[in-house]
Amino acid sequence: MRGLCGKDGRQNGEILHLLSGPGRSGSEITTIEGVAPDGELDPVQEAFWDNHGLQCGYCTAGMIITAMELIEKNPDPSEEQVRQGLKGNICRCTGYQNIVKSVLAAAEAKRS
Ligand code: FES
């Protein structure tokens, strides 16, 4: 299960319901704070940094967590697959171009 930031209110409500629902005790939840526990950035975080994948940062936690799951499921995504994978995350700043570029760069870095 993953927590998502930058989603619309309805989806956040669904996430909160899922987190508090029956049978959820013992589930593992990774937040953006848990991605770099020793202070060393995950390759996805580094790719966002290197490719200017953020501006204000409001959506960034959700984008990175979503990107990590996307890359885990598909290590070599196409640009279209990245755009589809991120479509539930709203960014009001970047126009998505550098976010998509960041995710593609992160996938490439994780493959090498
Ligand atoms: S960087 Fe500002 S909302 Fe995405």
Residue 53 Cα to ligand 1 midpoint, Å, equals: 9
Q: How many residues comprise the chain?
A: 112
- CA-CA distance, 97 to 55, in Å (whole number)? 12
Q: 29: Cβ below 6 Å to ligand 1?
A: no
In this prediction, residue 19 has a pLDDT band, given cuts at 50, 70 and 90, of: low
Q: Give distance in angstroms: CA of 55 to centre of ligand 1.
A: 5
Cα gap 95→18, rounded to integer Å = 30
CA 93 / ligand 1 centre spacing (Å): 5
Evaluate: CB of 55 within 6 angstroms of ligand 1: yes
Please give the pLDDT value at position 2: 45
Question: For a pocket test of ligand 1, which of 32, 55, 96 has the largest count of ligand atoms closer than 8 A to its C-beta?
Answer: 55
**Atom 3 of ligand 1, nearest CA residue:** 91
Give the model confidence (pLDDT) of 75-90 as tens digits.
999 999 999 999 999 9
Ordered by where they begin, the domains of the chain are 9-111 (1.10.150.120)
Task: Determine the Cα–Cα distance for residues 103 and 43; give it in Å rounded to an integer.
Answer: 10
* DSSP-derived 3-state class of residue 58: coil
Is-contact 65 42, C-beta < 8 A?
no
pLDDT of 39: 87
pLDDT digits (tens, 9 = 90+) for 23-50: 667 778 888 988 988 889 999 999 999 9
Is residue 58 lining ligand 1, measured as CB closer than 6 Å? yes
